Amino acid sequence: MSEAERPGVAQLVRSAMGGSRDAWDQLVERFTPLMIATAHRYRLSDHDAADVAQTVWLHLIEHLGELREPAALPGWLASTTRHECSRLLGRRARQRPYDPLIPFEGDQVTPDIAGDVAEDLERFDRQEAMLAGFAELSDSDRRLLVLLVADPPLTYLEISERLQIPIGSIGPTRGRALKRLRATAPVSRLVESDK
Amino acid sequence: MDPMTPEEERLLSDLRDALLAAQHPQAELIIANAQDAFSYATLEDELAHLVYDSALENDLVGTVRAADTSRMVIFECQALTMELEIRGRDIVGQIGPPGPATVIVETSDGAMAEVHADDLGCFTARVSEPTGPLRFRVSRPGSSAITEWTYGQRPS
């Protein structure tokens, strides 16, 4: 698919609102990783992270018709996911018996871990921005980048075989994919703030 | 092979870290479930909004009740109200205004159970997976409504 006809997120949202299952499938595939990373940031278990993602998608289906600005979907998903995570955490906290003799329970930050927390926050923001930018890329860009960061690393020969593209084109294609990732709003904000 | 610029290196390493944070053992299942949910959606029913949730009430008051075993939720739309008590797998509900109705309990995997409300609008239902998202579709002559998704009872 050429650059021009590659549907952007806003177009996918409009198609999904019109009932397109294909567009919906793509939205779910693109944005679920961001939800999972957010849930992990809230230190939710894998089970709870799955619940959060499912609940947010179900909410979106209910409210899809009310969405006024299709381009605002990524922001809506991010804030709804955070809201669901803290709601789940709140319920967890209530279900834990309270012991007044334990001074630092729950979310309270003791001085010795405050430094770690600041470092974590910076890293989480970075992860969120990368995943949000990544979600805006085309299927082919995302497939290539996923293979390039695979652990253990893949050789260019393996990547070329998996994607059915010549080895010689991997370098230039990687360059263009990274450029497009760099150009997405979330990633360009991140890079600018690094300067 | 073409060498990468420092900025490209940085982007790739940030992306690697981000994708690691987004890993989930059931990622494919989560995606498939959310994709399937689109097919179950019908836009014709009136949406009944959550107007009361005893679990949230506790949040506001800030009380801690370790022995919380049941939860009250109320949904409301123009056509009807629905009060539910969720106690583990068991759900006791009452629909207002009173009267017979068909209630379909849906879980997020698409499984459905159909029960019938009596002349007073009362019904009971049992769900197989008590912790996942649930919603209720109520139909009676002349009106039908579907509730927002809510959680079942959570295990402590």
**Cβ–Cβ contact A58 with B under 8 A:** yes
Residue A130, domain member (yes or no): yes
Name the token pair of A79. Answer: 């804030």
Shared domain for A157 and A132, answered yes or no, is no
Which pLDDT score is estimated for A94?
64
Candidate from A50, A174, A182 with C-beta closest to B24: A50
CATH of the domain at A151: 1.10.10
**Cβ–Cβ contact B16 with A under 8 A:** yes
Chain A residues within 8 A of B34 when measuring between CB atoms: 28, 32, 53-54, 57-58
Band (A97; pLDDT cuts 50, 70, 90): low
Shared domain for A158 and A79, answered yes or no, is no
**Cβ–Cβ contact A91 with B under 8 A:** yes
Shared domain for A27 and A85, answered yes or no, is yes
Q: How many residues in total does chain A contain?
A: 195
Residue A127, domain member (yes or no): yes
**Cβ–Cβ contact A33 with B under 8 A:** yes
Shared domain for A56 and A39, answered yes or no, is yes
- Nearest residue of chain A to residue B48 (CA atoms): A62
Between A98 and A88, residue with greater pLDDT: A88
Interface of A with B in 132-151 (CB under 8 A): 134, 145-146, 148-149, 151
Check the CA dihedral A187-A50-A6-A147 and report its sign: positive
Shared domain for A17 and A69, answered yes or no, is yes
Residue A72, domain member (yes or no): yes
List chain B residues with pLDDT less than 50.
Answer: 62, 64, 66-67, 155-156
Shared domain for A86 and A175, answered yes or no, is no
Residue A108, domain member (yes or no): no
- For residue A170, pLDDT beyond 90: yes
Shared domain for A66 and A85, answered yes or no, is yes
Shared domain for A84 and A155, answered yes or no, is no
B29-32, long-range: CB within 8 Å, 24+ apart, which pairs? B29/A50, B30/A32, B30/A36, B30/A50, B30/A53, B30/A54, B31/A28, B31/A29, B31/A32
- For residue A105, pLDDT beyond 60: no
CATH of the domain at A29: 1.10.1740.10
Which pLDDT score is estimated for A98?
52
Domain region containing A49: 7-95+121-136
Shared domain for A37 and A21, answered yes or no, is yes
Shared domain for A71 and A32, answered yes or no, is yes
Contacts of B66 (CB under 8 A, 6+ apart): A95, A96, A97, A98, B156
Residue A28, domain member (yes or no): yes
User: Rounded CA gap, B148 and B127, in Å?
Assistant: 17
Which pLDDT score is estimated for A145?
96
pLDDT per residue over A108-151, tens digit each?
Answer: 444 555 666 677 778 888 999 999 999 999 999 999 999 999 98
Residue A109, domain member (yes or no): no
- Nearest residue of chain B to residue A26 (CA atoms): B35
Chain A residues within 8 A of B58 when measuring between CB atoms: 94
Q: Measure B151 CA to nearest chain A CA, in Å.
A: 9
Residue type, B35: Q
Look up the ipTM and state it. Answer: 0.82
Exposure class string for B18-29: b at 16+ Cβ within 10 A, else e: bbebbebeebee
User: Rounded CA gap, B64 and A21, in Å?
Assistant: 43
Which pLDDT score is estimated for B139?
84
Which pLDDT score is estimated for A183?
96
Contact assessment for residue B26 and residue A36, using Cβ atoms and an 8 Å cutoff: no
Q: Measure B12 CA to nearest chain A CA, in Å.
A: 7
Shared domain for A79 and A52, answered yes or no, is yes
Between B50 and A17, residue with greater pLDDT: B50
Residue A165, domain member (yes or no): yes
B27 with A33: Cβ contact below 8 A: yes
- For residue A93, pLDDT beyond 90: no
Shared domain for A86 and A142, answered yes or no, is no
Residue A49, domain member (yes or no): yes
B155 three-class SS: coil
Task: Please count the structural domains in chain A.
Answer: 2
Q: Which residues pair with A8 in a beta bridge?
A: none
Candidate from A28, A171, A182 with C-beta closest to B34: A28
Q: What mean pLDDT, rounded, does chain A reach?
A: 84
